[in-house]
Amino acid sequence: MTNKTNNKIAFVQGNEVCAEAALYAGAGFYAGYPITPSSEIMEHMARRMPAMGRRFLQMEDEIASLAAIIGASLTGHKVMTATSGPGFSLMQETLGFAIMAEIPCVIVNVQRGGPSTGLPTQAAQGDVYQARWGTHGDHAVIALTASNNQDLFEMTVEAFNMAETYRTPVIVLIDEVIGHLREKLQMPDPDELEVVKRLRTAVPHGVDYHPYLPREDGRLPMSDFGDKHRYNVTGLYHNMWGFPTTDPGVIDGLIHHLIDKIENNLHQITRYKEYYLSDADCVLISYGCSARSALHIVKNRRQRGMKLGLLELQTLWPFPAGLVREKCSGAQHIVVVEMNMGQVVHEVKRAVDHPERVYLANRVDGEFITPTNIKNVLRVIMGRGV
Amino acid sequence: MERCRLVFCGSGGQGIVTAAIILAEAAAIHDGLEAVQSQSYGAAARGGVTRSDIIISDSEINFPKVVQPNILVCLTQESFTQFYSILRPGGLMLLDSDLVEPGMRVEARQYKLPMQRTVQQEIGTNVVLNLCMLGALLCLRPVVTKESVLEVVKKRFSERFLQMNEKALELGWSLAQESAPSSGDQRGSAPRPTH
């Protein structure tokens, strides 16, 4: 290994990785309110951003934090905020606004035990459905996750790319274990990962700009708010000028646009990893920190001849049902490993051909699920006792 | 190499987590190994039981927590009481002889060293107890090289504190060199109930 490469290996926490990846992706504005176990993201941004000539703001709460990054995004910046469950709850109304007004932004939720203030310093994965349905009304949403530093860097950059591509909030849903775990990160070179730039309108100053008129490909070019064009932004159903409307045709078109732009691109949005799936008769499905324990048990049992495989989901929403169905088609047993009372397991049951073969291996006492916890569930399923 | 699982425990403010990060970073960045480090903590900024887990290996580490360490370091009585039983039988236990009184036989190679007293006498402060502990540990079980740890210490500490940290590391090393495992060592003897 050359010295040059060696210098680019850092030994850092997941939270710091998330912050560095945001800077790599071009985040120009961060607003937030600190909360365990996400605070290191904010601390890192507070140290790094002013030194890079970018803007950092500590807000009075999480509602204001998301509102602030929405405003900054409209003016042309790539933006991020980070929080944990209680803060993410406060953000739900504004999250809906960002979905409706089609504002690119990235929201990191480092999950801890809930509901309410719950378990501030311990791990859980109980916010998966909140990410999907926490804000009211029909909508589509993108949520990504990762189980190690290298993947977390890439997924955070992806989150920014998808936010720009689809003009939508993207949620990075990690957890206390990943946020606080220190391990190696090989810093990508500046041009190594694709970074999607803000799509700006070519409409010149003085010519009518329609902020909500999609192009043929469904994308909406933006105009930096306060710069060349005057336009309206609202959480109400709106027409192509951004002004409120109750016209049924326009309403129908907008709701379909908001959902289709994401659901129709499921294939482009889906990220996953697979291990030993080709001959697996038992498929584990997991994500985030739980996927580390799942991979540990898969490797361990493979040494003993068990045909165990792992499908690690990195895109949680929109849920990659077709992928799950395909990867599980030959499985006798499907075990979803997650740290909640069962969330992704319901989506898996809806996706596969044989929902009666789907089991949940979980842990909800604040402790990180161990390979032994999973092994015990596997033994019970296979009729071998614990 | 055999996978090395360590748990450092003590009280918030003793530098347990910092020592764990230094050790893991030395392994990951300078010794070309894989390493993960994590910590569990309560709501208090100081006091309370703090625990940090480290795994060092030459292969990929998936499950990052330590269930049964082969090295356990305890720097307070409370943390000893809470965690002594998780040590793998025959593992290495490092204690501060003034801060922890085991009071029971533990199946381990047990080293009780007056680390806090020594740094207090020689350096005049106990804030470097964590580096002294690290020095002693590396002498007893060279999981990473001392040079790698010194590299990390140089990077992490400002000029002002560098010298006292380096000195603490050397003090710990010397303490361990002069020591022999105490009565806790039962390797080779018949197993007997411990608790």
Nearest Cα residue in chain B from A372: B67
Question: Would you tell me which residues 213-252 of chain A have a C-beta closer than 8 angstroms to some C-beta of chain B?
Answer: none
**How does pLDDT run along chain A (386 residues), one tens digit per residue?**
333 444 689 999 999 999 999 999 999 999 999 999 999 999 999 999 999 999 999 999 999 999 999 999 999 999 999 999 999 999 999 999 999 999 999 999 999 999 999 999 999 999 999 999 999 999 999 999 999 999 999 999 999 999 999 999 999 999 999 999 999 999 999 999 999 999 999 999 999 999 999 998 889 999 999 999 999 999 999 999 999 999 999 999 999 999 999 999 999 999 999 999 999 999 999 999 999 999 999 999 999 999 999 999 999 999 999 999 999 999 999 999 999 999 999 999 999 999 999 999 999 999 999 999 999 999 999 999 98
- For A252-261, write each residue's pLDDT tens digit: 999 999 999 9
The answer to whether the Cβ–Cβ distance between B35 and A296 falls below 8 Å is no
Distances (CA, A) of A274 to A50, A157, A286, A315, B55: 40, 21, 10, 13, 25
CA distance A339 to A363: 5
Q: What is the mean pLDDT of chain B?
A: 90
Instruction: Tell me how close the Cα of A184 comes to any Cα of chain B, in angstroms.
Output: 7
**Is A184 touching B (CB cutoff 8 A)?**
yes
B73: amino acid identity, one letter: V
The answer to whether the Cβ–Cβ distance between B41 and A121 falls below 8 Å is yes
Residue numbers in B near A374 (CB within 8 A): none
Every domain of chain A with CATH number 3.40.50.970 lies at 3-186
**Is B61 touching A (CB cutoff 8 A)?**
yes
Residue B40: the pLDDT is 87
- For B61-112, write each residue's pLDDT tens digit: 999 999 999 999 999 999 999 999 999 999 999 999 999 998 777 788 999 9
Residue A7: the pLDDT is 61
B102 backbone φψ class: left, alpha, beta (φ>0; ψ -120 to 50) = alpha
Question: Would you tell me which residues 67-126 of chain B have a C-beta closer than 8 angstroms to some C-beta of chain A?
Answer: 67
To test the contact with chain A by mutation, choose from B3, B29, B38 the residue with the greatest count of A C-beta atoms within 10 A, namely B38
CATH 3.40.50.920 assigned to domain A274-381? The reply is: yes
Residue A284: the pLDDT is 98
- Mean pLDDT of all residues in B155-176: 93
Instruction: Tell me how close the Cα of B22 comes to any Cα of chain A, in angstroms.
Output: 10
The answer to whether the Cβ–Cβ distance between A11 and B63 falls below 8 Å is no
CA distance A306 to A299: 10
**Is A37 touching B (CB cutoff 8 A)?**
no
Reduced to 3 states (helix: H, G, I; strand: E, B; else coil), residue A383 is coil
Instruction: Tell me how close the Cα of B60 comes to any Cα of chain A, in angstroms.
Output: 10
Residue A3: the pLDDT is 39
The residue with tokens 């994308």 is A219
CA dihedral A102, A108, A113, A117 (to 10 degrees): -70
Residue A101: the pLDDT is 98
A240: amino acid identity, one letter: M
**Is A149 touching B (CB cutoff 8 A)?**
no
The answer to whether the Cβ–Cβ distance between B38 and A296 falls below 8 Å is no
A47: amino acid identity, one letter: R
β-bridge pairing A55-58 and A119-123: unpaired
Q: Can you name the residues that pair with A238 across neighbouring β-strands? A: A244
Reduced to 3 states (helix: H, G, I; strand: E, B; else coil), residue A359 is strand
Pull the structure tokens for residue B123: 């350096």
Picking from A140, A136, A109, A367, the residue whose alpha carbon sits closest to that of residue B38 is A367
Instruction: Tell me how close the Cα of B151 comes to any Cα of chain A, in angstroms.
Output: 13
Q: Which domains does chain B carry?
A: 4-177 (3.40.920.10)
Assembly ipTM: 0.93
CA A319, A96, A213, A162 torsion: positive or negative? negative
Residue B185: the pLDDT is 45
Give the angle B174-B180-B181 at the CA atoms, nearest 5°.
125
Residue numbers in A near B64 (CB within 8 A): 177, 181, 183, 292
Residue B74: the pLDDT is 97
Every domain of chain A with CATH number 3.40.50.920 lies at 274-381
Output DSSP code: residue B71: E
For every residue of B86-138, DSSP letters joined together read: GSPTTEEEEEETTT----S--SEEEEEE-HHHHHHHHTS-STTHHHHHHHHHH
Q: Residue-wise over A213-235: b if at least 16 C-beta within 10 A, else e?
A: ebeeeeebbbbebeeebebebee
Picking from A226, A307, A261, A11, the residue whose alpha carbon sits closest to that of residue B144 is A11
The answer to whether the Cβ–Cβ distance between B38 and A180 falls below 8 Å is yes
The answer to whether the Cβ–Cβ distance between B61 and A295 falls below 8 Å is no
- For B107-139, write each residue's pLDDT tens digit: 889 999 999 999 999 999 999 999 999 999 999
For every residue of A183-219, DSSP letters joined together read: EEEEPPPTTTS--PPP-B--PPTTS---TT---TTS-
| CB of B86 closer than 8 Å to CB of B48 | no
**Is B62 touching A (CB cutoff 8 A)?**
yes
Please tell me the pTM assigned to this model.
0.95
The residue with tokens 């490469």 is A5
Q: Can you name the residues that pair with A11 across neighbouring β-strands? A: A184
| CB of B173 closer than 8 Å to CB of B141 | no
Q: Can you name the residues that pair with B73 across neighbouring β-strands? A: B8, B94
Superfamily (CATH) of domain A3-186: Thiamin diphosphate (ThDP)-binding fold, Pyr/PP domains (3.40.50.970)
